[in-house]
Amino acid sequence: MMNAIETDQLHYRAAKTFHISGLGLKVPVGAIYGFLGPNGSGKTTTIRLVLGLLRPLAGRISVLGHEIPRDAPSILAQVGFVPEQPHLDSILTVRETLAFHAAFYPTWDWPWAERLLRQFDLEERQPFGRLSKGQKGKVMMLLALAQRPELLVLDEPTDGLDPVVRRDVLSALLDYVSQRRASVFISSHLIHELERFCDWIGVMDNGRLITQVPMERFKNGIKRLRISGAPPIPESLPFVLLGREQTDGATETWLVREWEPQMSAYFDRPGVTLTEVMDLDLEEGFVELLRTFRGPRA
Amino acid sequence: MFRVILYNQWKWSRLLVVLGSVAGFALPIVSLQGAARADASPLAPAELLRTVQSWGVLYPVLAATLGLLVAITTWTPDHRGRHVYALVLPVPRWRYVLLRFGAGALLLAAPITAVLVGALVATSSAAIPAGLQGYPVALAVRFALAVLVAFAVFFAVSAGTARTAGIVLALIGGVMLVQVIADVARVDFDLVGKLQLLVLNWPGPLAIFTGRWMLIDV
């Protein structure tokens, strides 16, 4: 299967203290890929690399089957981008902004843009610079959607928006994706928001991709196990042990990844009892993943 | 594509273009004010030439000012957005730069035309003494070249980042420093003078700004 975005052994140095290393991102075609990570983890830098705004030191980037940055000018016509900060000309009105943008995109859909303009309740004569943060967010999403892209790259598109605006923006996005089967690469730190509609998840920390898995596998795969009489040095584990803590004298809590129900058989041994398997929600899983990545407790 | 960039450019620099056009139209007329009132007290040829020459200093100043300000406004929207929006547009970067340059240059056609019209009106309505001739078209062509050279130079400089501007300023500062050190050490080395000759004398890039700008001449 072709990937909408694919990077291979991508290296980039942004400063003396920050670099992206060995990034191997794979966003399947038609997927809504949530790109999670704490502030400063490299999400925006990765997006800028993917769009050809930055040039990597090494590695390969492919977007919709084309090499980036070599083919960026042609492939960007099929990519809708919503940046973290609105970068549009502040003195153009909303209507003028739309006209400016439309001139560059051959697939621009004016009737749909008009519909979104009404749906988002935007005042078309208002200069972009005088719009509220929520209205600017709506204009950015309108521009990205009305150009009818095959891939949407969204860098924290709902950050700082109130719940009503956030709902409007996300419902327009989901409408489009369901009609067009477009791929979406969305970065956010609003974990619960991503949990609702993403089908893939990638987690970035300190310039490295810690994990990328289907959302269901991520949610179901991270568990907290309560074990009494746990072996001191676990051998040939069928799952990934992220961390272990002694709860009381005889009981330990293990944090594991890639857990499947049949793996409870691993604990069928003398003196060892698996007493409880607890689910973690996405946020807990994300936090635990980061904790173990930064300093393994196992 | 060019139309929307031109419109965008117009919104940023319309005040400059209008003021520049008014100044460009008025300058030749004002410079020949004495000659226009021929029946009252026609200026003697020498006096007229002196007046025209002294007003002529303002043409390169106007050309440089317009070129500088329009070049700055050409890049202002992109600088404000840290070039992110421009860089994700589906056009090659060289083409985007050409579009921006073309839009700025086209808007500068207004003050250039104003200078031509002003010069034609001034020379046709003035009583030019025998032996002297009006050069409205030559003056307007020279003004056009000067405006475009200024625009091109400042367009290139302002296209860069603050780092680029810093490098340019550091180079200028470096030259001045070398000159000061040479002067203090009493070394016979006129770097500034040599650079000035190189830049301002033909075929230097800024030679167009120097010399006499005469609407009326022998």
Pair A38, A123 in one domain: yes
Confidence grade of residue B35 (pLDDT, cut at 50, 70, 90): low
Give me Rg for the CA atoms of chain A.
Answer: 22
In DSSP terms, A276 is beta-bridged to A226
Report yes or no on A296 lying in a domain.
no
Q: Which of A100, A107, A125, A147 to mutate to test the interface with B (most CBs of B within 10 A)?
A: A100
- Contact status of A266 with chain B (Cβ, < 8 Å): no
- Contact status of A96 with chain B (Cβ, < 8 Å): yes
Place of tokens 């520049």: B20
Pair A146, A227 in one domain: no
Pair A11, A141 in one domain: yes
pLDDT value, residue A297: 46
| ipTM of the complex in this document | 0.81
- Across B53-202, the runs of DSSP E, i.e. the strands, are 133-134
Tokens of A42: 């490299």
Report yes or no on B131 lying in a domain.
yes
Q: Rounded to whole angstroms, how far apart are CA atoms A259 and B184?
A: 79
- Report CA torsion sign: A35, A38, A41, A47: positive
Percent of chain B with pLDDT strictly greater than 70? 95
Report yes or no on A270 lying in a domain.
yes
Contacts of A133 (CB under 8 A, 6+ apart): A160, A161
Report yes or no on B121 lying in a domain.
yes
Contact A251, A228 (CB under 8 A): yes
Is A179 strand, coil or helix?
helix
Report yes or no on A288 lying in a domain.
no
Report yes or no on B122 lying in a domain.
yes
Tokens of A2: 């072709």
Interface of B with A in 88-117 (CB under 8 A): 88-93
Pair A21, A40 in one domain: yes
Model confidence at B177: pLDDT above 50: yes
Report yes or no on A61 lying in a domain.
yes
Q: DSSP readout, A39-79? A: TTSSHHHHHHHHTTSS--SEEEEEETTEEETTTHHHHGGGE
Pair A76, A138 in one domain: yes
The CATH number given to whatever domain includes residue A152 is 3.40.50.300
Pair A207, A271 in one domain: no
- Check CB contact under 8 Å for A53 and B4: no
The number of residues making up chain B comes to: 218
Report yes or no on B39 lying in a domain.
yes
Q: Rounded to whole angstroms, how far apart are CA atoms B84 and B91?
A: 13
Pair A28, A139 in one domain: yes
The total number of structural domains in chain A stands at 2
Q: Rounded to whole angstroms, how far apart are CA atoms B126 and B31?
A: 11
Report yes or no on B183 lying in a domain.
no
Strands A273-279 and B133-134: unpaired
Contacts of B123 (CB under 8 A, 6+ apart): B28, B32, B134, B136, B215, B216
Give the residue among A107, A172, A183 at the shortest CA–CA distance from A139: A172
Report yes or no on A72 lying in a domain.
yes
Strands A183-188 and A151-155: parallel
Residue of A53, A77, A89 with shortest CB distance to B84: A53
Beta carbon pairs, A and B, within 8 Å? 53
Query: In terms of residue numbers, what domain contains A231?
Result: 223-279
Report yes or no on B23 lying in a domain.
yes
Contact B31, B215 (CB under 8 A): yes
Q: Rounded to whole angstroms, how far apart are CA atoms B169 and B160?
A: 13
Question: Residues in chain A with pLDDT < 70?
Answer: 1, 233-234, 292, 295-298
Angle between helices B2-31 and B45-56 (to 10 degrees): 150
Neighbours of A208 (CB within 10 A): 16
Residue where a domain terminates, one of A217, A237, A258: A217
The pLDDT tens digits of the residues spanning B38-73 come to 555 556 777 888 888 888 889 999 999 999 999 999
Q: Rounded to whole angstroms, how far apart are CA atoms A120 and A135?
A: 8
Give the burial class of A69: count Cβ atoms within 10 A of its Cβ; 0-12 exposed, 13-18 middle, 19 or more buried.
middle
Report yes or no on B186 lying in a domain.
no
Q: Interior CA angle at A98 toward A92 and A101, to 5°?
A: 100
Report yes or no on B40 lying in a domain.
yes
Provide the residue type at B114 as one letter: A
Closest alpha carbon within chain A to B87: A53
Q: Rounded to whole angstroms, how far apart are CA atoms A204 and A201?
A: 10
The pLDDT tens digits of the residues spanning B152-164 come to 998 998 887 777 8
Give the burial class of B117: count Cβ atoms within 10 A of its Cβ; 0-12 exposed, 13-18 middle, 19 or more buried.
middle
The pLDDT tens digits of the residues spanning B111-132 come to 999 999 999 998 888 877 778 8
How distant is the Cα of A208 from the closest Cα of chain B, in angstroms? Answer: 24
Pair A134, A30 in one domain: yes
The pLDDT tens digits of the residues spanning B66-109 come to 999 999 999 888 888 778 888 899 999 899 999 999 999 999 99
Q: Is A256 left (phi over 0), alpha (psi -120 to 50) or beta?
A: beta
Pair A155, A19 in one domain: yes
pLDDT value, residue A298: 43
Pair A212, A233 in one domain: no
Query: In terms of residue numbers, what domain contains B34?
Result: 2-161+209-217
Report yes or no on A81 lying in a domain.
yes
pLDDT value, residue A1: 55
List chain B residues with CB under 8 Å of A83: 84-85
Pair A179, A213 in one domain: yes
Pair A21, A163 in one domain: yes
- Contact status of B84 with chain A (Cβ, < 8 Å): yes
List chain B residues with CB under 8 Å of A52: 87
The total number of structural domains in chain B stands at 1
Tokens of A177: 């994706």
